[in-house]
Structure 1
Amino acid sequence: MTDAISVLVVDDHAEFRQGLRTLLGFYTDEAASFEVVAEANSAEQAIEMLEAHNPKIALLDMDLGEGTGLDVLQRLKTLGLETRVLSLSAHCEDEWIFQAMQAGAKGYVAKDKLATQLYDALRTVLQDEIYLDPQLTSRFFRLFHSSTSIRPVPIEGTKIRLTDREREVLYWLVQGASNENIAKELYITVATVKAHLTAVFEKLKVRSRTQAIVKALKLGLVEAD
Structure 2
Amino acid sequence: MHTFPPTASPLNNPISILLVDDCPAFRQGLKSLLEFHSATNAIQFQVIGQAASVQQASSLALQQSPMLILLDMELNQESGVELLHVLSTNAKTSKVLVLSGHEEEEWVFKAMQAGAKGYVFKHHLSLQLIEAIQVVMQNQIYLPPEVATRFFQLFHFSQGQSMSSSPNIHLTHREREVLYWLVQGASNEIISQELYITVGTVKAYLTTIFEKLNVTSRTQAALQALKLGLVST
TM-score, scaled to structure 1: 0.63
For residues 171-225 of structure 1, give each alpha carbon's deviation from its aligned partner in whole angstroms, at most 9, with x where no partner exists: xxxxxxxxxxxxxxxxxxxxxxxxxxxxxxxxxxxxxxxxxxxxxxxxxxxxxxx
Matched positions, count: 151
Of 74, 78, 85, 2:96 maps to: 85
Q: Is the 8 A contact 1:87 1:100 kept in 2?
A: yes
Structure 1 runs of 4+ with >3 Å offset: 145-151
Correspondence 1:36 to 2:61 = no
Aligned-residue offset at 1:146: 4.0
> Percent identity, aligned pairs only?
45
Aligned-residue offset at 1:16: 0.3
CA distance in 2 between counterparts of 1:31 and 1:124 reads: 15
CA distance in 2 between counterparts of 1:108 and 1:150 reads: 25
Q: Which residue of 2 aligns with 1:62?
A: 73
Mapping for residues 72-111 of structure 1, pairs under 5 Å: 72-111=83-122
Aligned-residue offset at 1:116: 0.2
For residues 99-152 of structure 1, give each alpha carbon's deviation from its aligned partner in whole angstroms, at most 9, with x where no partner exists: 10111101000000000000000111111111112111022123324434349x
Of 19, 23, 30, 1:9 maps to: 19
Correspondence 1:133 to 2:131 = no
2:18 alignment partner, SS class: strand
The one-letter code sitting in structure 1 at the alignment partner of 2:99 is L
For residues 41-97 of structure 1, give each alpha carbon's deviation from its aligned partner in whole angstroms, at most 9, with x where no partner exists: 011111111011110000000111142110111011111531010001100111100
CA distance in 2 between counterparts of 1:18 and 1:144 reads: 35
Aligned-residue offset at 1:26: 1.7
Correspondence 1:113 to 2:124 = yes
Distance 1:74-1:25 versus aligned 2 partners, 3 A rule: same
Q: Is the 8 A contact 2:62 2:91 kept in 1?
A: no
Task: Pick 1 or 2: higher relative contact order, CA cutoff 8 A, min separation 6.
Answer: 2
Q: Is the 8 A contact 1:8 1:50 kept in 2?
A: yes
The one-letter code sitting in structure 2 at the alignment partner of 1:87 is V
Q: Is the 8 A contact 1:106 1:131 kept in 2?
A: yes
1:77 alignment partner, SS class: helix
TM-score, scaled to structure 2: 0.61
Q: Which residue of 2 aligns with 1:24?
A: 34
Distance 1:38-1:98 versus aligned 2 partners, 3 A rule: same
1:131 alignment partner, SS class: coil
Structure 2's unaligned 5+ residue stretches are 1-10, 163-233
CA distance in 2 between counterparts of 1:30 and 1:61 reads: 25
Q: Which residue of 1 aligns with 2:228?
A: none
Aligned-residue Cα RMSD (Å) equals 1.8
